[in-house]
Structure 1
Amino acid sequence: MGNYETFYQLHHKETPLILANAWNVKSAQIIEQNGYDAIGTSSGAISNSLGYEDGEKMPFDELFFVVQRIKASTNIPLSVDLERGYTNDLAVLTENIQRLVDIGVAGINLEDAQGEEIYLKKLHSIKNYLEKSNQKIFINARTDGFLLKVDAPLETTIKRAKAYQDAGADGLFVTAVSDTATIKEIASSTTLPLNVVGSPKLSSIQTLSECGVRRISMAVLLYRASYNQLDKLIKEVSAQQSFGPLF
């Protein structure tokens, strides 16, 4: 079974896929060693760790270097946060996708912050290329209506979910939604496996599962928690004038 097939099946089990998001080889290896079924990357975490702001501020080549090292150093399916594709040129987008396929990446997140029209052009282009070249990669269609506070975000999300499914998306990723009633309505409106990020209001995996969520991501949260702990340790060493906090 290939990477795509394995990753696809993880979205169609009775229990949700819990996806921890890595930013370098070591974080990815720790995720794998602790029994997770797959690894996701976080663009925000990778960008920040390299000194860039999030939002495609880092060059694709630098993202690819990190992804390539993660894939070469782990054995479970890897999904890459591709933001908006790191280009508006469809030919370059195809090249980016092919580079990821070549190293064995199982899936991508592709976000629609530029709007539905541009997004559908990119999604159609990727799917057409993959079909013609007889290749597969799991496309998790990220829709940011709630995050960007568009008018009627629920209706917009449901409309986009149908359009993205018709265009060949494998999953639906809805950001910035954290109330159970809304999540249930979105989940019931589509047959695509629904992905959300855990939040302070909805941190229970069981609750999210009961809402119909099939994939739960940590996004940049694991990265932030790790470096908050590092910040705390550094401060304790300085305050105590002792290396004791490190042991």
Structure 2
Amino acid sequence: MNNYEKFFQLHHQPAPFIIANAWNVKSAKLIEENGYKAIATSSGAIANSLGYEDGEKIPFSELLYVIQRIRSCTNIPLSVDFERGYTNDLETLNGHIQKLIEAGVVGINIEDAQGEETYLKKLNGIKSYLVKTNQQLFINARTDGFLQKLDSPLERTLERAKLYKEAGADGLFVTGVSDTSIIKEITAAVSLPVNVVGTPKLPAVKALADCGVKRISMAVFLYNATYKQLEKVVKDVKEEQSFTPLF
């Protein structure tokens, strides 16, 4: 079984799987060494670690380099936070997709913050390219209706889920949702495996499993937690005038 097949299977098992989001080789290797079945990247974490703001401010070439380094040093499936594709040109978009596949990436998240019309053009373009070139890539369609506080976000999410599946999406990533009753409505109505982000407002993994969730991400929160701890250490060294906090 290759890494794409392993990654696809993770979304179709009875229990949800937790996917941790890396931003460099060290974080990715720690994720793998601690028994996670797959690695995702966080666009916000990678960008911030290199001095860029999130939101496609990092050049794709720099993002690709980090992805290539992560993939060359790990063995488990790797999925990439692809934001909006780092372009609006469909030919360039397919070029980006090809470079990710050549790097060994098995999945992407691609978000619909630009609206359904633009998103469907991109999604259809990617799927057509994959079919034409006989390649596999798990497309996790990220829908931001709740995050963007659109009118009737649940109804909009369900409508988009149907459109995105027809366009070739393999999973549905719903951001900004923390009400378990709403999550249950989504998973009951959607045939795609549903991904949510683990936050303090959401319950433990078992409760999310009972809601029908198949994938739980850490997003940028793992990165934030890591550097919050680093900040504490450097502050303690300075305040205590001792190197004990390093050990």
Q: With structure 1 as the length reference, what TM-score do the two structures score?
A: 0.99
Q: Separation in 2 of the partners of 1:235 and 1:65?
A: 32
* Residue 3 (structure 1) shift: 2.1
Identify the residue that residue 181 of structure 1 maps to in structure 2. 181
How is 1:68-217 mapped onto 2 (pairs within 5 angstroms)? Answer: 68-217=68-217
Runs of 5+ unmatched residues, structure 2: none
Deviation per residue, 1:92-142 (Å, 9 max, x gap) = 000000001112101000000000000000000000000010001000000
Identify the residue that residue 16 of structure 1 maps to in structure 2. 16
Q: Which amino acid aligns with 2:106?
A: A
% identical equivalent positions:
67
Q: Which amino acid aligns with 2:31?
A: I
Q: Which secondary structure state, in structure 2, belongs to the residue aligned with residue 199 of structure 1?
A: coil
Q: Which secondary structure state, in structure 2, belongs to the residue aligned with residue 15 of structure 1?
A: coil
Q: Which secondary structure state, in structure 1, belongs to the residue aligned with residue 214 of structure 2?
A: strand
How is 1:223-238 mapped onto 2 (pairs within 5 angstroms)? Answer: 223-238=223-238
Q: Separation in 2 of the partners of 1:103 and 1:51?
A: 24
Q: Which amino acid aligns with 1:95?
A: G
Identify the residue that residue 67 of structure 1 maps to in structure 2. 67
Identify the residue that residue 32 of structure 2 maps to in structure 1. 32
Q: Separation in 1 of the partners of 2:186 and 2:99?
A: 33
* Residue 17 (structure 1) shift: 1.4
* Residue 4 (structure 1) shift: 1.6
RMSD: 0.6
Q: Separation in 2 of the partners of 1:117 and 1:163?
A: 11
Q: Separation in 1 of the partners of 2:229 and 2:84?
A: 31
Q: Quick check: 198-207 or 232-241, which moved more?
A: 198-207
Aligned residues: 247
Q: Separation in 1 of the partners of 2:2 and 2:99?
A: 17
Q: Separation in 1 of the partners of 2:169 and 2:98?
A: 17
Q: Which secondary structure state, in structure 2, belongs to the residue aligned with residue 13 of structure 1?
A: coil
Q: Separation in 2 of the partners of 1:27 and 1:182?
A: 33
* Residue 2 (structure 1) shift: 2.2
Deviation per residue, 1:198-222 (Å, 9 max, x gap) = 1111141111111110000000000
Q: Separation in 2 of the partners of 1:216 and 1:141?
A: 14
Q: Separation in 2 of the partners of 1:56 and 1:126?
A: 18
Runs of 5+ unmatched residues, structure 1: none
Q: Separation in 1 of the partners of 2:117 and 2:9?
A: 29
Q: Which amino acid aligns with 1:162?
A: K
Q: Separation in 1 of the partners of 2:205 and 2:53?
A: 30
Q: Which amino acid aligns with 1:120?
A: L
Q: Which secondary structure state, in structure 2, belongs to the residue aligned with residue 135 of structure 1?
A: coil
* Residue 61 (structure 1) shift: 0.3
Identify the residue that residue 55 of structure 2 maps to in structure 1. 55
* Residue 241 (structure 1) shift: 0.1
Q: Which amino acid aligns with 1:142?
A: R
